[in-house]
Structure 1
């Protein structure tokens, strides 16, 4: 018997429950990866993310072939065609079952339901595992049987479920009894623009090696280093978790080895990193329980009527890193140049757009997705709603980041700013966080004046938000 494994955000061999189930129950397995061009455009896949995907697919194809599994890569228009394409492949290989790992945003849920219905007409079974998360959404509920709406109690309950897991031993790479005749598809031309990501390794082995380096040499200092953008203190694994090159189970297993009472008893660095994994799953769970988040709605419905400013000129200056606030501009220029931005800077730049400029968070959410190599719809949406104080677990609306104080705290000597804002390379450290008075004394000065007065902007936001809250 032959099975199809429909790969999506799970492009890996290890800790892939859909692949393991197919190999355990069938003699032959064929892998399929669908590239819906128009849907990817609608979902704002960035050129950096597309390039990383395309380079990894080439390696993944080889890794599957070594296990006797062919990989068919099909470029088409949209999610709506998934059922017909998979039906055709099932007919070609006489497949009896399809295996996949569940995804949780609304478009993906609808797509999977349509595929299951289409294959049922051919008497082909569909089996969905939960390889995208450690704990499936339906398994983290409070005593009333409801999902958690705030992170802290979610994290506590999520960890208690993690503690119940007892299958931490790494399974050997799955293999099939017989290799299908033929060859994997030659990777077609990428249908969307690509940006060079050659300095990001691809292939499961290379990514696992990168991961091992982080756990072995950096995770111990993660808690104190993760907020300092001038140093390499984060794992930079988010892009690989997003594509599914590495599994959350693989990540958790590495931490499980550090404490006999896992997920408890960890040192501060590993414990903080585990909390970041919990945040990732929290946003995945929210997407599952609240489909309206996939439609661009605020989680807190009473905030739907905020009168955002429709200022395209100021938005462009924010996008271009020309706000006159060095730490904000440094973050945006890093994003534009590399497709990645340090997480502390994601919070600072998002807070600035929403609360200093009073521009709709959805503008920023879309811009980030169009640029980020690790653009994850659930995490990006959750982060922006948090910054805008309109989401679950949102920052209290009266907490408005002061970008100058943030700069002084997290980039004290200005190293990060100087690296990305070249106009400020010569500015002394005592002036780097607010250089405008010093720059006026220089013969040449191309750095822009501040786009807004932070104190005035803060009061504008607080007044506006208070009226909406009390309205």
Structure 2
């Protein structure tokens, strides 16, 4: 599909912002004074690494692109959809069209940052401006700093500063619809099919992007109980930008401070990734924790992955993840703590497994959560906080509803004995961590 125009154009490059409404980079592109062509690239560098060729996330993205395309066609515009590596595609686009400006929204992940630097070099050769905008967070990078003008590394003071700074200006939507007349009028041809890219369509029933106010009002009371349908399931929409973080934050501020805190955690981990990029390259936030001597036991790791540890809440969580690509947040903490502390298996292995399975996988949040559970991250609590998975189950699933849903053989002879004794595992973990930290002094 190609554009038949000789005039100067602006391109808006969609990535983690798959919506036309309240989109920062798109808003600025539409006000650039040039006709705007939207672009989406199915990135071979990312897709080729996916083992599952029926990955639900790819179908979700494809559906979002088709939805955008339908909206654009209704106003006489279209979206350019390409499949390949971004550098090859941008080289071709720079040769084919007279690109005045390129707009996009900032992605803070390591791969994305390096990719954007290379694309910037390509378009700069043709004197094309490359402009990035803040869209997927309320505050980015160094917008929230301590009194010492350094990035916060502990959540609670960060969240206080976040709330003090956040006013209606930061939560206001970008009125993109006012400028829809500035899209280039053109009629595209076909776009690459999932099959042509080596993928199959998934029939997964994705959660709604709507978060009811009623759910938010009960959120603080019910959110920790995995048997309750009391969480928003909004993660996949936030991950791919099919909802606006500004609209969601406004709704949270009106209805639930607890839910607002969850959104602030997102910003917190994104600014950690931006300011301390070593965490996105496989390193512990606290370097001393890179000295831990982990156990590399494939059989134990496999039991954890399959939900056959003999600890019901851990097993229920892992089976939920394997079945539907989602795990309740309380259970994410329990399963992550169990792998890194009870089994003393490197948290990076768990992080990679979650990355493969979670529909709402987000590098900053996934890495932040795993390092929090392993004790190597930003949390101020000492490393000897070790979740007792039995006590967690008794407290947060007292009637065993969640456990019985995902572990139907629980309570029968078919259910395995615990693979490790809690007391022994705790002592082993404390010893290994203490040795590592002494070494790292």
Does structure 1 residue 345 correspond to structure 2 residue 313? no
Cross-structure match for 1:69: 77
2:108 to 104, 107, 122: 104
Contact 2:87 2:118 in 1 (8 A): yes
Structure 1 residue 232 displacement after superposition: 0.7
Q: Secondary structure in 2 aligned to 1:113?
A: helix
Cross-structure match for 1:134: 138
Cross-structure match for 1:222: 219
Does structure 1 residue 236 correspond to structure 2 residue 233? yes
Structure 1 residue 31 displacement after superposition: 1.1
Does structure 1 residue 186 correspond to structure 2 residue 191? yes
With 394-403 and 2-11 compared, the bigger mean Cα shift is at 394-403
Root-mean-square deviation over aligned CA pairs: 2.1
Structure 1 residue 181 displacement after superposition: 2.2
Contact 2:27 2:175 in 1 (8 A): no
CA distances 1:308-362 after superposition (whole Å, capped 9, x unpaired): 0010000000000010111111000000010111111100100100111000000
Cross-structure match for 1:33: 40
Q: Secondary structure in 1 aligned to 2:232?
A: coil
Q: Secondary structure in 2 aligned to 1:12?
A: coil
The alpha-carbon distance between structure 1 residues 382 and 197, as it changes in their structure 2 partners (threshold 3 A), is farther
Contact 2:171 2:247 in 1 (8 A): no
Cross-structure match for 1:262: none
Structure 1 residue 243 displacement after superposition: 0.5
How far apart, CA to CA, are the structure 2 residues paired with 1:44 and 1:348?
27
Contact 1:4 1:95 in 2 (8 A): yes
Does structure 1 residue 199 correspond to structure 2 residue 167? no
Cross-structure match for 1:17: 24
Structure 1 residue 73 displacement after superposition: 1.7
Cross-structure match for 1:300: 286
With 89-98 and 294-303 compared, the bigger mean Cα shift is at 89-98
How far apart, CA to CA, are the structure 2 residues paired with 1:390 and 1:178?
47
Q: Secondary structure in 2 aligned to 1:218?
A: helix
How far apart, CA to CA, are the structure 2 residues paired with 1:300 and 1:459?
22
Cross-structure match for 1:385: 371
Contact 2:56 2:202 in 1 (8 A): yes
How far apart, CA to CA, are the structure 1 residues paired with 2:146 and 2:206?
40
Contact 1:99 1:126 in 2 (8 A): yes
Structure 1 residue 33 displacement after superposition: 1.0
1:119 to 114, 117, 123: 123
Cross-structure match for 2:299: 313
Structure 1 residue 83 displacement after superposition: 3.4
Contact 2:27 2:176 in 1 (8 A): no
2:11 to 4, 11, 15: 4
How far apart, CA to CA, are the structure 2 residues paired with 1:284 and 1:169?
21
How far apart, CA to CA, are the structure 1 residues paired with 2:241 and 2:380?
27
Contact 2:101 2:129 in 1 (8 A): yes
Cross-structure match for 2:5: none
Q: Secondary structure in 2 aligned to 1:137?
A: coil
The alpha-carbon distance between structure 1 residues 169 and 351, as it changes in their structure 2 partners (threshold 3 A), is closer
How far apart, CA to CA, are the structure 2 residues paired with 1:306 and 1:349?
19
The alpha-carbon distance between structure 1 residues 41 and 153, as it changes in their structure 2 partners (threshold 3 A), is farther
Cross-structure match for 2:4: none
Structure 1 residue 413 displacement after superposition: 0.1
How far apart, CA to CA, are the structure 1 residues paired with 2:170 and 2:303?
51
Contact 2:173 2:247 in 1 (8 A): no
Cross-structure match for 1:252: 249
- TM (normalized to structure 1)? 0.86
How far apart, CA to CA, are the structure 1 residues paired with 2:404 and 2:355?
26
Cross-structure match for 1:89: 93
1:54 to 51, 62, 81: 62
With 82-91 and 358-367 compared, the bigger mean Cα shift is at 82-91
How far apart, CA to CA, are the structure 2 residues paired with 1:41 and 1:160?
43
Structure 1 residue 248 displacement after superposition: 1.1
Contact 1:300 1:391 in 2 (8 A): yes
How far apart, CA to CA, are the structure 1 residues paired with 2:237 and 2:183?
30
Alignment of structure 1 residues 306-455 onto 2, 5 Å: 306-393=292-379, 395-424=381-410, 427=411, 439=412, 445-455=413-423
Cross-structure match for 1:264: none
Does structure 1 residue 145 correspond to structure 2 residue 149? yes
CA distances 1:12-38 after superposition (whole Å, capped 9, x unpaired): 111211111111223421111112223
CA distances 1:248-297 after superposition (whole Å, capped 9, x unpaired): 112112234x2xxxxxxxx6xx1011110110011111111111111100
Q: Which runs of 5+ in 1 are unaligned?
A: 259-266, 428-438, 440-444
